[in-house]
Each structure stands twice: as structure tokens, then as C-alpha cells.
Structure 1
Amino acid sequence: MAHQGSDAPAARQTYIPAPARRAGEGYGPYPLMVIRGVTLIDGTGAPPTGPVDIVIENDRITDIVQAGWPGMPERLNRPPHGAVHEIDARGMYVMPGFVDAHVHAGGPGKAPEMEYAYKLWLAHGVTTVRGVSLAPHAIARSERDRSARGEIVAPRIYNYQTMGSGWNRGRIHDAAKAREWVRWGAANGIDGIKFFIRGDETPETVLAAIDEANKLGMGTVAHIAQPGVAQLNAEQLAEAGLGTITHFYGHFESLLAGREIQNYPVDYNFLDEQKRFGEAAEIWRQVDVGMPGWDEYLKTQVETGVAFDPTMTIYAASRDLMRARNAPWHDIYTLPTLKDYFQSTRDNHGSYFFDWTTQNEVSWRRFYDRFMHLVNDYKRAGGRVTIGSDSGFIWKLFGFGYIEEMELLQEAGFHPLEVVRAATMDGASVLAEPSGKPADFGIVRIGMSADLVIVPENPLANFKTLYGTGHERLSPENRIEKVGGVKWTITRGVAYDAEALLADVKAMVDEQKTARGQPVQP
């Protein structure tokens, strides 16, 4: 959604890195830990199987063993014996840890403590994030490395930065300078590049940076902003070797008949936030599902290998503002400063509901219909689709926005197993691919990293049970009961109690509310 990459001193002072992992935060890693009697959804698209025991040694899955037969008592006294820690997961489901392919870690003025976002992600099963960017480079690199060493409570972090971030050698105005910065970034802990295709990012500099990044094993992702899409659309960027197209920009512009630009009104101004986002959806009037060139575009994109990261959740408020604004988690888990940021204002990025009308929402619903068809057709054609949330803007909260994206992919036509695959195996492969090495996470398989999410409800039956606020259901006794939520999130062999993580988040919110004299939720 936004630029998050400034390395100015003021920016550095307002991001608060996560504290060191405290005693009692998480269990492990252990020489031997066993998850007992769980039903396995392995992330590849294979159907569930279970009950199984999953054996973890330190940070690796070392065995997966059938524990019995459905509907029958499990075998007693099963090996392995002598585990330091066991998780009784009978009746529960396990999946690979989720990959969020598009994140920012709060930031100045709204959620400066990075611990806040980390714990919300982990509480919703997210064990890997691609920061685009997570924070200014020096901070993001440090947080990535601290997470890898197990020093903080955080997901696995990929550090992507915008061109020019982190160095002091001036602005990038030509291809030579772009290549120089990419080489500098590769040598200084930058895993990939986030392009906006605007401002200094001319076609010349962007194409040079993509080429250099591919040579050096760095990833690339582009938000093809409206000021740049007339020069480089999604098809052109993928042909040049781009790794991921995030959001929706650039796809439909690749399909317009007889032109390359949507029908902007003559009073359009990109810096007018309501014009920018209100008009973005109006391109639906120029495209239709299955229009000439539709299938050819998707086939061409599949051949390039580019991934689609639709991030539908971050714009979902545009089609139903009241639902997003009144989501049940805001009162409990949204910081007052973040809620302030979400309020409509002319000088806050993404706070664009100046006078949001029924017609605005209808246009966004029409747009989503077409975009969802495009994303599902890309998957059906063999293209990879990942899950990114971009939360922290437009009434979307970290973790909660990720689960909504899973729901939106199901609405788009994905089978629930395909949604889980996008959230796990496909996300992991897209992040690992630039290095030339296969991902060692994203699948529950012997030899893989012990990144797992354990849930008490069948997620394939209802993704709503993954929300941290749970799911309401009427019991046989005619009482409303709350079920679901993630039970355990395991990252690199460390098991975190999701409820405890949410309690920590609530305490942070309550502290801010108390300082403001606002009532806290019980």
C-alpha cells in the first residue's frame, strides 16, 4: 500500500524493534518434541490425513507416523519415547505455517512497536513474512537476523526494500546507478526489491534493476502504481523477469483494447486519495471476464513464471466500508493510534473515504468480480498465486487481514485446499526461488523446517474459525458459543500459545487506552 522504506533519522527513531524473547515465551526448540494424534493438511493440495504423530528435533521435522485409524482408539504407548515436550493435538488439524507475502510492520504514528505486528501474525499462524518493506533497511535487516537466531518472538522475515533504500550515494536516475544500488543491496542484507514504478523509478532504471537482481539471486515485486502503468504494465514487467505482481494494478491495463490507459476523468489527481482509490475500480467498465486477449494474457504470464499476489483484503473496505470499520477485533486488538490512522483524512495514505458512496462500493464490487475471475483463471492455467495482506492500512489489522484474504480466495473460486496451498507451499516457493534453492518451509514433510499451525477446528470447513476472535456457533443446547482460533503456532521448532500472544497484544492496546482515559475491554 505505502512507502515504508525511508532511512531518515526521524524514521529510525519511531520504529521500536521487538524486545528480546522473554522467559516463558514459547516452548523449545527441543531435542525432541512430538505432536500427537493430529490430522495433517500438508500444504501441497493433498487432502487431510490422520491421525498422525509429527516428530520434531530442534527446528526440523524428522518423522510423520500414522497414529491410528479415524473413528478408532489410537495406539497406546507409541514411539518415540522420551520427548522433552508433547502437544496433545487429538481432534485438531495441523498445516504448514502461513506465508504473508506482503507486509509492513506498522510504523511511525500508528503502531511503532514491531512486537505488536509480530504477535498478531504469529497468533494467526503466520510464520513467514515478506516485508516490502517491513521497516527502514537497517532495522528490517536487524530484525530479520534476530528472528533467524531465535532472539525475538517473530516470524521468519524477508527484507525487501525500495530502490535507493539504505545507502547514501544519492538518488537513482539511470540504469547504471540502479545496478550499483542492487549490487550494494545484495551485499548488505537486502533479499529483494519492491518497485512502485513511479517517481525516480523510470522504465530504464526498473528494467536494469530487475535484470541485475535476477543475476544476483534477489527477489523482485512490483506495485505498478497508476503514474507508471502507462509505461510498464504487468505483462511487460513479467516479460522482463519480475518475480511477483502485488495488488491488482497493471493486469487489466494489459488487456485494454486500442489503448493502454484507463478512462480517467479529466479532474483526476493521483494525490487526491479518494480520486486515486475511487477511480481505481472504475476500470471494471473497460474489461470483462473472458474478453479478447484474456486467456492469451494469462497463458503468457504463466510462461514467464511471475506470481500473482492479489492482496484483495487491503481494498475490501472499498466494497463494504461499514463491515470493515466495525469488525469485532478492533475494540480488543487495534491500537488507538492505529485506529486514529484509519480515520478518513486528506493527508493520510489509505484513509480515503472522504464521502464514500453506494456507487463507490458498487463499482468496487463489480471490479472484484472481474479481478477474482482473473486470479482464479490464473491459478487454473497453472500460475502461482500467493497470499499477502498489506495490513496496517484501510481498516485491516495484522493477522486478521491475512485470514480475510484466505476467505476472499475461496470466494474467487479456490477450493479450500488450494487456498491453503497458496498460503503455504506456493508462498514459500516464490520467496525461495530467487536464491536458486528449494524452500525448506511451506510443506509439512520430513526434513522441512518445523513451521506449523495447529488449530482445533477444521479450517477447510470454515476459514472463519482461524480468526483470533473465534467463530460464533449455536450449540445443541441452543446457546451461542465461541469456537476456533489458532491453538499453537510453531516457528523453527518453537511452539507459541496463540491465546497468550493475543493476550500480550490486548495488554498493549489496554495500556494505550488507559493512558488516554478510554475504557478497556474485559
Structure 2
Amino acid sequence: MHRKAETTAGAGARGPATHDLVISRARVFDGHQALTGLYDVAVDGAEITSLSAEPLRGRQQVDAAGGWVVPGLIDTHIHFYDVRAVTDPDSMRAFEENELPGRLGLFLDHGITTIKSVGDPTDAILDTRARIAAGTLRGPRLLATGCGITGRDGHPAATVFGGNPWARERFTGEVGSVREIRDLVHHLADREVDAIKLLSEGACAHSGGPTYLWRNPVFPDGVALERLPLDLLRAGVEAGHERGLRVTVHTTQQAAAREAIEAGADGLEHGVTVEPLTDHSLIDLMLDHGVTYTPTLWIDDAHPDARGNLRKVAEAGVRIALGSDTFSGRGLFGANTLEEAELMVAAGMTPAQVLAAATSGASRQCARPDLGTVAPGKRADLLLLNADPTADIGSLRDLRMVILNGELAVDKR
């Protein structure tokens, strides 16, 4: 669906006569839908200041020649520090010195201008965020939850980090009481994290028996887990909301998803992956509560029901955000995000729906209304593509230029 932009030629005249940057004669996907016709997009400083059907002047002028301008992509679910390589202080230092800068750059090279870390070591990821914000480290805008919060002996503390107490203490926050989870959420809020992530369960189906077993090819016998008790789940969400933070919850089953929503969660990380989504009242609950569903097909596509469940919630009108669950050691940062977009289309979403999930939908999930939209007053995170991504999501790979905070970050012309 195409529409005319509400901002017309006259809007350009209200701004400066000459803008810092103008991308001229571009087709535009504004974060919600494609606009009809060609537009000039003007940037001053770090902000979009005009979207005009009439020509604008810029001190720096880029001729789009009918190419497509879209908002910079947002990946709302990544794990940046390598969970396999970072096992002690020396290996963390080596990762930060030798691997971290290049891997940050990969996101920009693929058009991802904002990433949200959902379970990295708190001190380390917040230091990385500060270095990027200060301009001493090149990378996309970094949002972070700090450690993921789980129950005692929950996932991933007892699974991914079960054999490494040093990493377990830094990547995860294990809590055993309402007081402990409230204190940890408030501690993270004091550190100025961007959101809170709670883990309700492991990435596996639970038969309903007395033991909750996490099964993974790496652990063929299974690992006995404790789920995050419901009173702790509610207390964690409540404490996050007291501090004005969005709280998302790692779920994989319908029962856990329902618990999270009824506890007040703002979003589901993974959603329902390990079983078919048969409870239509759960979808109604997502709609009633305005919950965001992050499908993470890049990691969960092996589950036979993951695509069908995404198709069901998308067709019902549930809010969707793109998040790949990408982590070091598998695939390639940035490229994994584009693969996630392609998998979402393969699951039955339209390219335009997926673009919205990766831009305006993701900005809502991140509580960053300044991002994810091509409109005056929004942050100038922009991609210039050679082909129409609303016709073929693969056009995201045909990238000409990346602009981050109004500055040219990648030029592939």
C-alpha cells in the first residue's frame, strides 16, 4: 500500500534555505508504509527536518535517482559478548580489544543502525554503550538491558553458563525472592539500562511433570531447571514499570506467555516456539494488552511451529518487532538480522510488514519514538537502497548508503 506523505513541498520552506544533507529524488518507506511519488529528505544535524515533494538544497547532496530511503534497521534481540569465548577476565579483555570493534562495524555494514542487547555482562555492555555514545568506538546505537534476570538455577545460568561460575555471575542475574528481584531491577535502573529482560523458562517444552528439563543437542541428557516463580515474575515487571522501563520476558510455551502477559509484561522474547499456538484467547490477550511479539526465527526456525505461530499472531494484528537472537560464534552480525527479516517473510508476513517490524515496530519495543520513522523531527538514521524492499525483502542487501545520527556511516556507492 502506498500513500502520499503528509509533509508537502511547503514544509521544506519552513526550514533553513540550505540543509546540511539532502537525499534527493528518493522513493520512501517511512517506517509504516511506502509513500507515493519521489521525495527529497533533508537532514540538519542529527535530525530529519523535511520530507518534501519539491526539490530541496543541501550543502551535501545525494542523488537517490529513484532509489529507496528507509529508516535504519533495529535488531531488538542480540547477545553481543561471545558466550563461548568470554570465560574469564583475560578472554573478556581479548574479546573487547580484538573482536568487539569489528563486530560492531558489521551491523552498520548491513544497515542495522540500532541494536538492543538482552543479556550481556552489565558492566561490560554499559561501558561499550558509553564508548559508542561518546564517539570513541564506531558502532550502531546500542541499547542494553544488562544481565538477563532468571530464577535460581534457571536458564541460561544453569544451562549455557552451567560450567562457568565466572561468566554465570556476569551474564545472568539469579534471584530467589521477591526482594531480590526488586532490588536487582532497581539496581539495573540505577545503572540506566534501557529496559529489563526476565527469563520465565528455558528454550524447551515442559511436559508438565515434576522436573523441568532443558534439552539441547549440546546437553543430550537434559539439564534440570527452575522456572521463574510467578510472584517473582510479577514483582520484576512491577519494579521495572516503577522505574519507567519496558519489561520483556523470555518465553517459549503458551502457558509461560500467558503468565508473562498477565503479569504485565510489555513484550514476549521468542513468543511461542516449541509448540503450536492453539490458544486463540492468548492471541486476544496479546492484542488487549498491546504486547509486542519478537519471533527470533533466526535461532528458533528449527522448531516446526515457530513460523506458523508468527503467521497467526501477525494475521491477528499483534504488534511484531524484529529480533534475531544473534550471538557471537554463529553466523555473522548484521547478516543474521537480514536473514531474520527474510525468514519472517518466509513465515507469511509481507515485506512491508517486516520492514515495519524492523523500524517503527522495533522502535516501539525499545521505547524510542525518535527512531524508526522517516519524518521531520525524527532521528536521521537512514538507509539508501538500490531496489524496492516492499516488493522484495532481499533488497535490504542491495545497500548504497547508511546514515547514522545524520552522519555518513557507510558508503557503498
The TM-score normalised by the length of structure 2 is 0.75
Distance 1:151 1:488 in 2: 22
Output aligned runs, 1:30-41, within 5 Å: 32-41=20-29
In structure 1, runs of 5+ residues without a counterpart are: 1-29, 68-77, 253-279, 319-363, 433-437, 468-483, 501-522
The equivalent of 1:109 in structure 2 is 85
Deviations 1:369-411 (A, max 9, x none): x432322232232311111112236843211111111112212
Output aligned runs, 1:44-443, within 5 Å: 44=32, 46-67=33-54, 78-80=55-57, 83-107=58-82, 109=85, 112=96, 113-133=99-119, 135-161=120-146, 162-163=148-149, 172-197=175-200, 199=226, 201-224=228-251, 233-248=256-271, 251=272, 280=274, 283=275, 287=276, 291=278, 293=279, 295-316=280-301, 318=302, 364=303, 367=304, 370-392=305-327, 395-432=330-367, 439-443=369-373
Deviations 1:168-192 (A, max 9, x none): xx96321012111111211112222
Return the letter of the residue paired with 1:458.
Answer: D
The equivalent of 1:448 in structure 2 is 378
Describe the SS at the equivalent of 2:69.
Answer: strand
Distance 1:439 1:305 in 2: 16
Distance 1:296 1:315 in 2: 23
Distance 1:63 1:498 in 2: 22
Distance 1:149 1:84 in 2: 26
Deviation at 1:117, TM superposition (A): 2.4
Distance 2:404 2:169 in 1: 29
Distance 1:84 1:449 in 2: 19
Distance 1:200 1:300 in 2: 22
Distance 1:33 1:166 in 2: 46
Deviation at 1:202, TM superposition (A): 3.2
Distance 1:114 1:418 in 2: 32
Give the number of aligned pairs.
Answer: 341
Distance 1:132 1:182 in 2: 14
Deviation at 1:431, TM superposition (A): 0.9
Q: Which segment drifts farther, 103-112 or 305-314?
A: 103-112
Deviations 1:191-241 (A, max 9, x none): 22222235584333222111110121112222236xxx69x6101111111
Describe the SS at the equivalent of 1:85.
Answer: strand
Deviation at 1:416, TM superposition (A): 1.3
Distance 2:199 2:102 in 1: 27
Instruction: Assess if the C-alpha contact under 8 Å between 1:428 and 1:442 holds in 2.
Output: yes
Instruction: Assess if the C-alpha contact under 8 Å between 2:22 and 2:56 holds in 1.
Output: no
* Residues 449 and 209 (structure 1), Cα distance of their counterparts in 2 relative to 1, 3 Å cut: same
Describe the SS at the equivalent of 1:130.
Answer: strand
Distance 1:395 1:94 in 2: 30
Describe the SS at the equivalent of 1:158.
Answer: strand
The equivalent of 1:258 in structure 2 is none
* Residues 185 and 297 (structure 1), Cα distance of their counterparts in 2 relative to 1, 3 Å cut: same
Deviation at 1:489, TM superposition (A): 1.1
Distance 2:257 2:227 in 1: 19
Deviations 1:430-451 (A, max 9, x none): 111xxxxx61111100110001
Return the letter of the residue paired with 2:140.
Answer: P
The TM-score normalised by the length of structure 1 is 0.60
Deviations 1:406-465 (A, max 9, x none): 112212221211111111001001111xxxxx6111110011000111111222232223
Distance 1:171 1:443 in 2: 37
CA root-mean-square deviation: 2.7
Instruction: Assess if the C-alpha contact under 8 Å between 1:207 and 1:240 holds in 2.
Output: yes
Instruction: Assess if the C-alpha contact under 8 Å between 2:19 and 2:42 holds in 1.
Output: no
In structure 2, runs of 5+ residues without a counterpart are: 1-17, 87-94, 151-167, 202-225
Return the letter of the residue paired with 1:157.
Answer: L
Distance 1:497 1:86 in 2: 16
Distance 1:206 1:136 in 2: 21
Return the letter of the residue paired with 2:116.
Answer: R
Distance 2:395 2:81 in 1: 25
The equivalent of 2:6 in structure 1 is none
Higher strand share: 2
Higher helix share: 1
Instruction: Assess if the C-alpha contact under 8 Å between 1:376 and 1:413 holds in 2.
Output: yes
Distance 1:55 1:495 in 2: 14
Distance 2:324 2:174 in 1: 30
Identity of aligned residues (%): 25
Distance 2:344 2:44 in 1: 34
Distance 1:446 1:125 in 2: 21
Deviations 1:271-329 (A, max 9, x none): xxxxxxxxx5xx4xxx4x7x5x3x2221112112221100101234x4xxxxxxxxxxx
